[in-house]
Structure 1
Amino acid sequence: HVTYFLNGGVEAVWPGEDRVLVPSPRVATYDLKPEMSADGVTDALTAAIRSDAYDFLVANYANADMVGHTGMWEATVRAVETLDECLGRITATLAERAAALRTPDGFLCITADHGNADEMRDVQGRPVTAHSLNPVPLLLAGPAVEGKALRPGVLADVAPTLLEMVGVSPWEGMTGGSLLVGKALDA
């Protein structure tokens, strides 16, 4: 899902690109297993970080979205708790790698293209199972972003921001711009 959009709507695997698909659990609805396959995604991602074979990694955690669609509050809370635990493992792995390599080049970016778990009830108290229209956060963490701040923006600004983080200029057809403000990144 995320690779399709990240690759500009192209299904084909690009040269130098590896894709790992961690199967979703086979349940009638995801409130029955709000953890979904997040641990498996995290295992694959942390192994890839430790391998030091990649310059860029992207992962899709669908828990908050898919469990949020059920409208089940407790299950959605558990889904978000699972994501918190997984992100803790990822940040710890990035910190280990940075310390081992004595380099501050790694960073973590967390964002979404829409909300869902952020709005679980309407004003009458009924479950909301559709995507929300609320702005979503863009969070950057790691030594490479120390001293940087982010301006408000839109989804079209995410790719130019990531490109700036890895030292690549955005191409002319991009409609967004980098969200980074503050001192220049060390290259």
Structure 2
Amino acid sequence: DNILANVMGQMNLRNLRVAETEKYAHVTYFFNGGVEQPFPGEERSLVQSPKVATYDLKPEMSAAGIADVVVKAVEEGSFDVLVVNFANADMVGHSGKIEPTVKAVETVDACLGRIEKTVRQKGGAMLITADHGNAEMMIDPVTGGPHTAHTTNPVPFIVVAENSQQFTLKPDGSLRDISPTILAMLGLPQPKEMTGHDLRVKLSKNL
């Protein structure tokens, strides 16, 4: 039961969960291991998803509003950890339509750029990843038609940090390694229940 959400609660880390309504459960109920009740130190910010029939009609979704919340929280410095979900690449990717999906990815890229700038200014760290693919495969390689489902392709894991020149990342990581990496970056012990490892590999003695 010692998932990351539990550990943050046990350590009294102030953490903010941010998502739009379409993916709100992913940063709360699912992230908390199937527990709806907030953990100690947990706060939540919900941004309303657009009222459209399908998200390819508004591929930007509510990403800008999410970025606004995150940038403000980072600037204020009132949280130790922020857990953020951008739904665009997944939800628009399900449409199978290439142009809206490109717009969705461009939107997320711009929002991440805003957040990254603020994180760097405040001397923080930012980790970017996904739990599955979708938008990277829009054409079915077998049928040649639209591909609308999730994929099992490897996903990115990107670390933005002041000391990022002091380490590289292992090339063969898995999703189970992300929580241990986060805890290591926070200087917190890894529970025995977590079987993953810190994905960082030292390039100097000052990691």
The one-letter code matched in structure 2 to 1:115 is: G
Contact 2:28–2:38, Cα closer than 8 Å, also in 1: no
Partner of 1:50: 75
**Structure 1 equivalent of residue 132 of structure 2:** 114
- Residues 116, 131 of structure 1: 8 Å contact kept: yes
CA contact 1:107–1:144 (8 Å) conserved in 2: no
CA displacement at 1:142 relative to structure 2: 2.0
Task: Measure the CA separation in 2 of the matches of 1:134 and 1:81.
Answer: 20
Higher strand share goes to which structure? 2
| Worse-matched range after superposition: 173-182 or 127-136 | 173-182
- The runs of 4+ residues in structure 1 deviating greater than 3 Å are 183-186
| Unmatched 5+ stretches in structure 1 | 99-105
The one-letter code matched in structure 1 to 2:200 is L
Q: Within 2, Cα distance between the matches of 1:184 and 1:121?
A: 46
CA–CA separation in structure 2 for the residues paired with 1:130 and 1:184: 44
How many residue pairs get aligned? The number is: 179
Deviation at 1:23, TM superposition (A): 1.2
Per-residue deviation, 1:64 = 0.2
Corresponding position of 1:31: 56
Q: 1:90–1:11: structure 2 CA closer, same or farther, 3 Å change rule?
A: same
Deviation (angstroms), 1:2: 2.3
Q: 1:120-157, CA deviations, whole angstroms, 9 ceiling, x for partnerless residues?
A: 10123211100011010110012043321111211111
**Letter matched to residue 178 of structure 1:** D
Residue of structure 2 in register with 1:133 after alignment:
152
For the residue of structure 2 that corresponds to 1:121, the secondary structure is coil
Structure 2 counterpart of 1:162? 182
What runs of 5+ residues in structure 2 fail to find an aligned partner? 1-25
CA deviation vs aligned residue, 1:68-100 (integer Å, no higher than 9, x gap): 0010100000000001100110011112223xx
2:200 aligned to which of 176, 180, 183:
180
Which deviates the most, 142-151 or 115-124?
142-151
SS in 1 for 2:198: coil
User: What are the superposed Cα offsets for residues 8-63 of structure 1, whole Å, 9 maximum, x if unpaired?
Assistant: 33211112211001111111000000000000000000000011101111100010
Question: Hey, what does 2:191 align to over in structure 1?
Answer: 171
Contact in 1 for aligned 2:59/2:103 (Cα 8 Å): yes
Q: 1:102 maps to which residue?
A: none
The alignment's C-alpha RMSD in Å is 1.3
8 Å CA contact 1:145–1:185 kept in 2: the answer is no
Deviates more, 1:109-118 or 1:120-129: 120-129
Counterpart CA distance in 2 for 1:179 and 1:157 is: 6
